[in-house]
Structure 1
């Protein structure tokens, strides 16, 4: 076996182990906090959830660019990452502190614009997470670079459990929406301590002017793109809150959280590993394209059936798990689950263009998406309420964003036919799951029965699709060798 083959085999073995840890971490973290999330929804209700959602939108906005995009440079830096880590840490923390100051003083204006002035103190407490995010940006990137998802798993689970248990304790004590902010901050602090402990270099500060210029040249376009990505993926919450009020926003956020389950469990673990693995193949374009297409097929096989399942059982799921008070969330969940399937595919494509340093595509697509989404959301929300807001987003994603991505992929050597063919069978399986779920709902009025039948159908479909693609799993480990 040649040295190159051995190195590539080792790379994909590491990526495979990292992906396994990443998936286990996310799945266990999400499942372990499910019961706590349900309890919080039942304790607080839609109005308190709406107040917290206003604050969370503000936090997500600043987290999208708070470290100026420089930490991602560690993942794809061609040289030794230790040479830039101190400079990355300094830029990240300084930028995050500045962003928090802006957030603190701007909180009253943002809360008023969202129709909920009581959210101001919640925003200020929650936004402290921005500083913590800046502190851990470098350690997290170093762990990703080294495929140390095992250590990241421990830190992530600590974050999730600390946040969830603190939130529910505060909610029972009567803190309302502030309980969620305190819980989020507590979890972030607990996770940060472990990230500092686990990272290869811990947290070191320093500043190299030449490296800083290189990092900012790389990071600022990504930070600008991240702002647009945030706006494109969160402008729905901004407009729902502003147009329909905080209570409607509470219903909407519950639907968003449920629709994000397939993204959190399946897409995020892949995104934690795929960019680093693809970056190692930058010198072998055919191998990188093969790895990308294989990853897309695998991801679609598990996520499309899961997303369609959520859409098909939205009504009995909301009613059975969260109670009748949350029933207005069901109609919008149908659309948001379909949108989640599209977003999972788009995020993988986004990461591919980031790895090949085609920031023009990354930025342009997000701008077009945002420009199209704003009027579509306004029309959908004013004409159809929550249901209309969800439908508008699906229309923009499928009719505008998808064709642009297919066109841009063809320009970099990935034929649209090859890409869509990888999604065809998973899409057919997802439609079969939807048909079984709808038939079960028609034949039975018992929510638990409907959910059990539909869930079993989805699990069986995912298992069959995964078994069919077992060869792809093996090829991912040796794609570098076949491209030699």
Structure 2
């Protein structure tokens, strides 16, 4: 691990020097070239975070209302079929992500980004994976489900998953443009509301699972159309969507692989607790842990919105002025810690009453697990903030390595603690895994800051030396 970490650090520093050469020179000779009327980076992060949080809350409420309408209208059995079909479609979308959900916001925020090439490459890359995966899912539908309605719904889910993955490229790219984020989020929320209204009409008219899945596909196609219109408005003819060559597509996929690996590790980390509990403990412990996890998910809403707002801003700042990017990250990290403490302390203080209020008296046994999740929230969120900065700095391979290390530590701790403490042991294991990588990630960020200060000081020294030589001559 140390040797690999060192080699990754060297590659990262070399890449940072190549990317930041022009920005560093502009910073030394033209310190005041940036517009005075522009919004400060931290203010932009706050604005974007508020937009993402509002959108997440609104779309979460719409999704809940949609499930409520369909569940009450179709009944338990047909509602279960609808959930099965949409879950398979969602899984296809997630598998086809290939890491572009993070790569596009990061690279699209660079001042020298070619947005048409990025979008075209992402669409082509996802299409290469969607065609074989969709064919397998279509053919395997009779093995996934037994009844004809579910089989038809799963096959339509192939289209739903593919259109969702295609629109995801537009959504991810627009998240790199802070000025367009509120507009895009409003459009996405409006289409979700339209799906809710149309689904309500269809369900009350007696439509089954397949028409509802088809409607969701049509909504995704409409979102793609909206994305094309917004892209033309944002970038116009100066940066049209381009069809990439095979070599360009392969290069883009290679750049996205670390982000895909990081997403895979995060998904395993989120699911390893209940999966191992199911094997090492009782179903009751799985249920208690799931209830505590749902409460923990709510606690992450505000930090998650802050991460979404921070990535494009930090990436853009790092491409222009790396010292300013470090200063922005420092302010962002302090705000992140304050928000996390404001959320985590109540969870630790009122874990038992909260679980009784939400789930009932039977779940009050999960209070210790929820308390430990609240304790784990601070290192987990600060670690995620550092990962966002390292993503912006082009150090995604380091993020993957330390995320994998945290997962391995969590699994080892779970194997020891779950047989003894059940759901509480699972929560403690999560805290141990995040705490174990807290210092290494902090050291990595500080190391990059110190190297940037030294690099800038060296440039200033050379500049002054050249001026002195000229004056002497």
Report TM bin, short chain: 0.5 to 0.7
Question: Is 2:173 aligned against 1:142?
Answer: yes
Gaps of 5+ in 2: 1-29, 72-78, 233-239, 452-473
CA distance in 2, matches of 1:167, 1:252: 33
User: What residue is the counterpart of 1:6 in the other structure?
Assistant: 35
Question: Is 2:92 aligned against 1:66?
Answer: no
5 Å-filtered alignment, 1:220-235, equals 220-235=257-272
CA distance in 2, matches of 1:344, 1:157: 26
Question: Which residue of 91, 94, 98 corresponds with 2:125?
Answer: 91
Gaps of 5+ in 1: 42-48, 112-118, 173-177, 416-484
CA distance in 1, matches of 2:412, 2:49: 39
Q: For the pair shown, which has the larger CA radius of gyration, 1 or 2?
A: 2
SS in 2 for 1:145: coil
CA distance 1:134–1:28, shift in 2 (3 Å): closer
Q: Once the 2 structures are TM-superposed, how far is the Cα of residue 192 of structure 1 from its aligned partner?
A: 6.2
Q: Once the 2 structures are TM-superposed, how far is the Cα of residue 20 of structure 1 from its aligned partner?
A: 3.1
Question: Is 2:413 aligned against 1:376?
Answer: yes
User: What residue is the counterpart of 1:255 in the other structure?
Assistant: 292
Please provide the CA RMSD for this pair.
Answer: 4.8
Question: Which residue of 397, 418, 424 corresponds with 2:434?
Answer: 397
Partner deviation per Cα, 1:228-281 (whole Å, 9 max, x = no partner):
2322333223323444466654443332222011322x1222222211111112
Alignment TM-score, normalising by the size of structure 1: 0.66
CA distance 1:267–1:162, shift in 2 (3 Å): farther
Question: Is 2:338 aligned against 1:318?
Answer: no
CA distance in 2, matches of 1:106, 1:310: 44
Deviates more, 1:163-172 or 1:350-359: 163-172
Question: Is 2:185 aligned against 1:153?
Answer: yes
User: What residue is the counterpart of 1:447 in the other structure?
Assistant: none
CA distance 1:139–1:22, shift in 2 (3 Å): same
CA distance in 2, matches of 1:387, 1:212: 46
Question: Is 2:325 aligned against 1:288?
Answer: yes
SS in 1 for 2:317: coil
Q: Does the 8 A contact of 1:67 with 1:95 survive in 2? A: no
User: What residue is the counterpart of 1:441 in the other structure?
Assistant: none
Q: Once the 2 structures are TM-superposed, how far is the Cα of residue 367 of structure 1 from its aligned partner?
A: 1.6
Q: Once the 2 structures are TM-superposed, how far is the Cα of residue 348 of structure 1 from its aligned partner?
A: 1.4
Question: Is 2:339 aligned against 1:302?
Answer: yes
Q: Once the 2 structures are TM-superposed, how far is the Cα of residue 105 of structure 1 from its aligned partner?
A: 7.9
Q: Once the 2 structures are TM-superposed, how far is the Cα of residue 297 of structure 1 from its aligned partner?
A: 0.9
CA distance 1:182–1:327, shift in 2 (3 Å): farther
CA distance 1:312–1:103, shift in 2 (3 Å): farther
Question: Is 2:256 aligned against 1:219?
Answer: yes
SS in 2 for 1:260: helix
User: What residue is the counterpart of 1:267 in the other structure?
Assistant: 303
Q: Once the 2 structures are TM-superposed, how far is the Cα of residue 197 of structure 1 from its aligned partner?
A: 0.7
CA distance 1:168–1:231, shift in 2 (3 Å): farther
User: What residue is the counterpart of 2:371 in the other structure?
Assistant: 334
Partner deviation per Cα, 1:52-73 (whole Å, 9 max, x = no partner):
9999998887666522223544
CA distance in 1, matches of 2:380, 2:196: 26
CA distance 1:211–1:394, shift in 2 (3 Å): same
CA distance in 2, matches of 1:107, 1:378: 35
Q: Does the 8 A contact of 1:64 with 1:223 survive in 2? A: no
Q: Does the 8 A contact of 1:143 with 1:152 survive in 2? A: yes
Q: Does the 8 A contact of 1:57 with 1:237 survive in 2? A: no
CA distance in 2, matches of 1:171, 1:401: 49
CA distance in 1, matches of 2:143, 2:425: 27
5 Å-filtered alignment, 1:342-361, equals 342-361=379-398
User: What residue is the counterpart of 1:79 in the other structure?
Assistant: 113
